[in-house]
A and B are shown apart, each in its own frame.
Chain A
Amino acid sequence: MPGLTGRMSTVVKAKVSKLLDRAEDPAETLDYSYQRQVEQLQNVKKGIADVVTAKKRLQLQETTLQQQLVKLDTQARQALSSGQEDLARTALERKNIAQTELQSLDTQVVELEEQQQKLTDSEQKLRAKIEAFRTKKEVIKAQYSAAEAQVRISEAATGVGEQMADVGLAMQRAVDKTENMKARADAVQELEAAGTFEDITALGPGEDDIDRQLKSLSSKSAVDDDLAKMKGEVGQGASGAGQIGSGAGADAAPGSGQGAAATGDQSKEQSA
């Protein structure tokens, strides 16, 4: 059969004969085939473990980004409550970048989960075939002459070999996808190292401009905050603080500068 199917069949069959060609010594074939199958199964397990590792790495990045999102959101609200609209804008800009990264990571994690599931299914199928082969091998040995058994077991080995080749294919595709994602994760880390997300990533142990400014704001507005909290506790709900924040932001002069330059100006005003 020509076409896509024919090509695919040819590729897989070439692969199968590669998998089997070392089992040509008749005396060794019977047990060698089985041994080789079990080895392949171990490789599949390793492949699955690699996919899981890649997934965990991405999930770790997700957790970090989620923490950054919460922090930046809080900072934006605090800034807005204090009438520092430019500062709030900067925090929200960074939050936006982090959010975009997080969405991309989400997609990748889902994709890796699919790969993991497919490989796990493939592993189970291969395991079942190998088990069937083990049983069949013993039955054939008992029922046929050595020469005839040789032929029949080779046929069965080819059948299992096809399953192995197919798992190999699935694994290769999973590895390719994982490599692409690793490259993407590395690229994000390089951006961070280059300072693109400096202020986002520095939020951990260190302090950045927003942190420092907000700290001074916090002390000023601590009483206001407490009051807002108290109002909330008394019965107005947690959204009270946010509404106050929005109100303060609306009062501030609109469109007064943007981004990092604005942050610098705010700094001066703050220290003055």
Chain B
Amino acid sequence: MIVRISGEDQYRLDDGLHDRLNQLDKAVITAAHDGDETGFRAAFDELLGFVRANGTLVGEDEIETSDLILPPADLSLAEAGTEFTGEGLIPD
């Protein structure tokens, strides 16, 4: 599968890693829901780190559509809570 980290790059990851990604993502959501800044930062960094460590960069000249898109690394807790629930971050 192809995973994009917004504002960075696209990575090619083994399909078998999907469940692990899901777990990491849920941890981020839980921390964001609880308003736990430290926990959110740690969980989100872990999610991004997992993608970077286990993925291979998609080449600049390859055109691929992502299966998953992760928010940018500097996402704040406030943005995680509000902006991604609606239209928010991406301009028309």
Binding site for B on A (CB under 8 A): 1-9, 11-15, 18, 118, 122, 125, 128-129, 131-133, 135-136, 155-156, 158-160, 162, 165-166, 168-173
> Are A7 and B90 closer than 8 Å at their CB atoms?
no
> How many CB-defined contacts (below 8 Å) exist between A and B?
103
How many B residues, CB 8 Å from partner? Answer: 36
Contacts of B72 in A (CB 8 A): 169-170, 173
For the A-B complex with A11-B87, A12-B69 known, give 7 more contacts whose Cβ atoms are closer than 8 Å. A4-B29, A11-B90, A129-B60, A136-B63, A159-B64, A166-B6, A171-B91
Nearest first, the 8 closest Cβ-Cβ pairs linking A and B are A159-B63, A128-B60, A3-B25, A132-B61, A172-B91, A9-B69, A15-B90, A7-B84
Which has the most chain B C-beta neighbours within 10 Å: A160, A166, A170?
Answer: A166
Residues of B within 8 A of A (CB): 4, 6-7, 9, 18, 21-22, 25-26, 28-29, 32, 44, 47, 60-72, 80, 84-85, 87-92
Given the complex of chains A and B, what is the CA–CA distance between A145 and B63 in angstroms?
21
Task: List, in ascending order, chain B residues with CB within 8 A of A18's CB.
Answer: 92
Q: Assess the B84–A11 pair: CB atoms within 8 A.
A: yes
B25 touches A132 (CB 8 A): no
Q: In the assembled complex, which residues on chain A have CB atoms less than 8 Å from the CB atom of B26?
A: 3
Contacts of A173 in B (CB 8 A): 72, 89
Complex-state Cα separation, A42 to B47, whole angstroms: 33
Complex CA–CA separation, A8 to B47 (angstroms): 14
Q: How far is the CB of B81 from chain A (nearest CB, A)?
A: 10
Contact of B61 (CB < 8 Å), options: A2, A3, A4, A131: A131
Identity of the chain B residue whose Cβ is nearest the Cβ of A166 in the assembled complex: B6
Interchain nearest-CB distance for B49 vs A (Å):
14
Query: Is B90's CB under 8 angstroms from A4's CB?
Result: no
Interface residues of A, dominant DSSP: helix
Chain B residue with the shortest CB-CB distance to A16: B65
- Which of A3, A169, A170, A172 is the most central at the interface, judged by chain B CB atoms within 10 Å of its CB? A3
Q: Complex: how many Å from CA A118 to CA B66?
A: 20
- Complex Cα gap A165–B61 (Å): 17
How many angstroms from the CA of A6 to the CA of B90 in the assembled complex?
Answer: 15
Complex CA gap A156/B61 in Å reads: 11
Measured between C-beta atoms, what is the minimum distance from A120 to chain B in Å?
12
Known A3-B26, A162-B66, A169-B6; judge A8-B84 contact (CB<8 A): yes
Q: Is the CB of A5 within 8 A of B90?
A: no
Q: Is the CB of A118 within 8 A of B22?
A: no
- Closest Cβ of chain B to A245, distance in Å, is 47
Residues of B within 8 A of A135 (CB): 61
Contact A8 B29 (CB under 8 A): no
- Are A8 and B32 in contact, CB atoms less than 8 angstroms apart? no
In the assembled complex, how far is the CB of residue A201 from the closest CB belonging to chain B, in whole angstroms? 34
Q: Establish whether residues B60 and A172, one from each chain, have CB atoms under 8 Å apart when the complex forms.
A: no
Q: Take A1-B21, A132-B61 as given contacts and tell me if A169 and B90 are in contact as well, using a CB distance cutoff of 8 Å.
A: yes
Instruction: Select B22's contact among A3, A7, A14, A122, beta carbons within 8 Å.
Output: A3
Q: How far is the CA of A136 from the CA of B65 in the complex (A)?
A: 15
B residues in contact with A162, CB < 8 Å: 4, 65-66, 69
Q: Which residues of B contact A6 (CB under 8 A)?
A: 25, 68
B90 contacts across to A, CB distance below 8 A: 11-12, 14-15, 165, 168-169, 172
Task: Find B89's partner among A5, A11, A118, A155 (CB 8 Å cutoff).
Answer: A11
Asked if B61 and A128 make an inter-chain contact with CB atoms under 8 angstroms apart, the answer reads yes
